[in-house]
């Protein structure tokens, strides 16, 4: 959004201009790759910082925006997250996949998770914790790495390159800088091929020590992943076999939801 958008926001006097301007600010925040400084948000929203700050004060009071007390950066707030998740809940794929999570959890005895591809990458939108949950720093609304999570790999392996290339490129560069030199382009390609061959992705102790995960893609009528259903548990007890009990139930569950979306052979 820019200053022209701000002008358009005030062009219809039958509406409430301040609400429309708030929408421009929230849109700019949603499009930002991470929490932003006031000056950067002002530039993105096409506003002067002083005016923007007044709006942010009110938006923070409502919970639509939050500010990190340490960095001073602004980000979408808890109410924005609630609204976003409510909107997602009205999408058929989310509703269909959410309905099967409790049954999946009960069938495998592990925590069941649902993720979709959001603007910032794989995004967790639902948890069904088992009776022996694992401790991980992931919550509803969390954005996951593509290459180091089963949910991310399951989504990416069955997605068009236009969706995933920039995410993969950025993550690979970060991993290599951190010393994980094995993440070459060939390594990533082979990892995606493995996911496609098995219809599943699996990870153990890569991102969170002692935690294992497996995930299957939910695919639409074009065969593209629109969600991923996963299972998370303690690595010492988790069945990671490609044809094990967890893998079998995950494939069956994801296939049932995919069939509802027009992909009967997925």
Determine the length of the chain.
266
Please name the residue ranges forming H helices in 33-138.
38-45, 49-62, 78-88, 92-108
Q: What residues make up the domain containing 61?
A: 3-75
Which of 43, 75, 107 is the C-terminal boundary of a domain? Answer: 75
Looking at the fold, whether 140 and 235 belong to one and the same domain comes out as yes
Q: Which residue has the tokens 């494939």?
A: 251
pTM: 0.68
Q: Are residues 98 and 132 in the same domain?
A: yes
For residue 81, being part of any structural domain is answered with no
Find the CATH number of the domain harbouring 222.
3.30.450.40
Phi and psi (nearest 5°) for 124?
-75, 130
For the chain, helix, strand, coil in percent to 5 are 50, 20, 35
Q: Which residues are CB-contacts of 90 (< 8 A; sequence separation ≥ 6)?
A: none
- Choose one of 75, 100, 130: the last residue of a domain: 75
Q: Per residue of the chain (266 residues), give pLDDT as tens.
A: 444 444 444 444 567 888 999 999 999 998 888 899 999 999 999 999 999 999 999 999 999 999 999 999 999 999 998 887 777 666 678 888 889 999 999 999 999 999 999 888 899 999 888 877 776 767 788 889 999 999 999 999 999 999 999 999 999 999 888 888 888 999 999 999 999 999 999 998 677 778 899 999 999 888 999 999 999 999 888 999 999 999 999 999 999 999 888 887 87
Domain endpoint, select from 75, 98, 129:
75
Q: How many domains does the chain divide into? A: 2
Residue 266 domain flag = no
Residue 265 located in a structural domain: no
Please tell me what DSSP assigns to residue 33: S
Q: Are residues 244 and 184 in the same domain?
A: yes
CATH number at residue 30: 1.10.10.10
């Amino acid at each position: 959004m820019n200053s022209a958008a701000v002008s358009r926001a005030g062009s219809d006097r039958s509406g409430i201009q301040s609400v429309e301007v708030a929408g421009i600010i929230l849109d700019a925040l949603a499009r930002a790759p991470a929490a932003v400084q006031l000056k950067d948000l002002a530039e993105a929203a096409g506003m002067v910082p002083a005016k923007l700050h007044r709006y942010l004060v009110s938006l923070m009071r409502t919970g639509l925006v939050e500010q990190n007390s340490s960095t001073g950066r602004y980000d979408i707030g808890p109410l924005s997250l609630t609204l976003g998740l409510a909107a997602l809940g009205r999408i058929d794929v989310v509703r269909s996949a959410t309905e099967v999570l409790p049954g999946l959890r009960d069938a495998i005895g592990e925590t069941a998770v649902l993720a979709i591809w959001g603007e910032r990458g794989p995004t967790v939108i639902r948890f069904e914790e088992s009776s022996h949950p694992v401790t991980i720093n992931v919550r509803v609304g969390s954005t996951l790495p593509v290459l180091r999570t089963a949910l991310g790999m399951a989504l990416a392996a069955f997605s068009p390159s236009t969706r995933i290339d920039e995410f993969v490129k950025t993550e690979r560069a970060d991993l290599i800088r951190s010393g994980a030199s094995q993440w070459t382009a060939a390594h990533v390609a082979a990892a995606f091929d493995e996911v496609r061959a098995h219809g599943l992705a699996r990870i153990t102790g890569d991102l969170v020590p002692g935690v294992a995960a497996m995930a299957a893609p939910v695919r639409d009528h074009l065969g593209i992943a629109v969600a991923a259903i996963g299972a998370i548990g303690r690595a010492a007890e988790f069945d990671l076999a490609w044809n094990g009990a967890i893998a079998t139930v995950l494939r069956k569950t994801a296939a049932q939801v995919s069939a509802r979306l027009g992909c009967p052979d997925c």
